[in-house]
Amino acid sequence: MAAVAGFLCLAGLVCGAGGCASKGPEATTDVGALLGRQEQNEQEIKALNERLFAAVSQAPQYEDYTLGPGDLLEVTVFEAEELNSEVRVSSRGYVTLPLLGTVEVKGLSSRQAEERIEGLYRQRYLRDPHVGVFVREQMSGRITLLGAVEKPGTYDYPARQRLLDVLALAGGLGEKAGRMAQVTRKNEEGERTETFLVDLDELIKEGKGELNLEIEGGDVVFVPEAGIVYVDGAVRKPGSYPIQEGMTVQEAIVAAGGFGSTADEGSIKLVRHVGEGKREVVELSFKDPRKSPQELKVEDRDVVFVETNRLEALIYGLRLNLGMGLVGIGYTPPPQ
């Protein structure tokens, strides 16, 4: 009788464990499709970099260098040597020239500055002046590129260029690059208050040229990494983890402490963002070669869900209660 009671109790626990076991979302695609898209994404980065390198191969026009605070200028007036001067652009963007006093040059190209100075001398002092402006020291003409680019750092910026051009200066996008670029720019007082976000997918794939922002000296361009994977279910440390270079599904599970004591290594779900608020779910398995996640790399905002093995969860949680001459079977939910 006690054996029957024990059997019935065990059967009830099996059903109970089955009902309570962690189960991820239903699969909507397969590993092959994701591996295909993974290769496609890598090709997209490669194609984007080809576009960047093509842009940088077009030599910039150095007469378009934009003057700014701290630049040291050599101003030559060919009709009157006594008016020649070497001046530094002030913090407010002005230079002081003989006879003219203060002249604003900030934001002008060298050629535009020459034309402005010629016009001012022509108004009062010279019939047909010719002025040359040579930049002896570039202080404002530097930009900084940070984040997921091949060669982050600070670069001389001798001519007006656009976002794609300066990304190419840094060797193009890195393997982990996200699809957004952030440009931070100083205001008149030297404080960084303006930030521009550019969607690189829209710029390249959809050809929205208006997003190819003109970069100014002093700008900071930052390309964030495509960057976080979420691991949940029967793992030891569920949570979000930064995506390391080339991180696979297996490595993401290792980052989360590895499989829990009741994990079902044959039933893993990968949930992937595919744009426009949509998700796809693929079923993975370390036991089925057709669904193997060995080569599958995680992407930004992926969710890896490890399901619970119902039988292992049950066996782990079973315990015997001995006392007062009675034998009973109990169940303790296992820790992850």
Residue 239's pLDDT is what?
Answer: 81
pLDDT band at 332 (very low <50, low <70, confident <90, very high): very low
Alpha-helical (H) ranges within 85-190 are 110-124, 163-169
In the chain, list all ranges with CATH 3.30.1950.10.
66-137
Least confident of 83-97, 216-230, 255-269: 216-230
Chain-centre distance for alpha carbon 299:
11
Helix (H, G, I), strand (E, B) or coil at 306: strand
Question: Residue 232: which of 310, 302, 315, 316 has the closest Cα?
Answer: 302
pLDDT band at 129 (very low <50, low <70, confident <90, very high): very high
How does the average pLDDT of the chain come out, rounded?
77
Instruction: Show the CA angle centred on residue 87, arms to residues 83 and 88, nearest 5°.
Output: 165
What's the whole-number mean pLDDT along residues 133-147? 85
2.30.42.10, 3.90.550.10, 3.30.160.270, 3.10.560.10: which CATH number matches 141-223?
3.10.560.10
Handedness of CA 209, 211, 212, 215 (dihedral sign): positive
Is 80 exceeded by the pLDDT of residue 124? yes
Residue 256's pLDDT is what?
Answer: 92
Residue 136's pLDDT is what?
Answer: 87
CATH of domain 22-35+227-308: 3.10.560.10
In the chain, list all ranges with CATH 3.10.560.10.
22-35+227-308, 141-223
- Higher local confidence (pLDDT), 324 or 113: 113
Q: What is the pTM of this model?
A: 0.50
What's the whole-number mean pLDDT along residues 158-164? 79
Residue 23's pLDDT is what?
Answer: 57
Least confident of 68-72, 124-128, 194-198, 262-266: 194-198
pLDDT band at 209 (very low <50, low <70, confident <90, very high): confident
Residue 26's pLDDT is what?
Answer: 67
3.50.50.60, 3.10.20.30, 3.40.190.10, 3.30.1950.10: which CATH number matches 66-137?
3.30.1950.10
Q: Are 95 and 103 in contact (CB under 8 A)?
A: yes
pLDDT band at 80 (very low <50, low <70, confident <90, very high): very high
